[in-house]
Amino acid sequence: MSIGKKVAYSAEKTRGRAKKVYGRAVGNRRLEAQGRAAQIKGSLKLSAAKVRDAFRK
């Protein structure tokens, strides 16, 4: 996995976490759910890239 993709996926995961925490802080359940979804999406992309790299070796 390239460094650029790893950084992008980690950033997506972090943005999702921040959005989730902000949504919880202001009491906006929809924003919290969107953040949780973005966090999961970033985690899945990062994991999938790691699996792809494992099979390439």
Half-sphere exposure of 37 (CA within 13 A, CB side): 6
- What pLDDT was estimated at residue 28? 95
- What pLDDT was estimated at residue 54? 87
pLDDT surpasses 80 at 22: yes
- What pLDDT was estimated at residue 53? 86
Q: List the domain boundaries for the chain.
A: 3-56
Question: Model confidence at 25, in pLDDT bands (50, 70, 90)?
Answer: very high
* Torsion, CA 23, CA 29, CA 33, CA 39, rounded to 10: 20
Sign, Cα dihedral of 44, 49, 55, 57 = negative
Type and span of the H or E element at 29: helix 29-56
Residue 32 CB neighbours (<10 A):
18
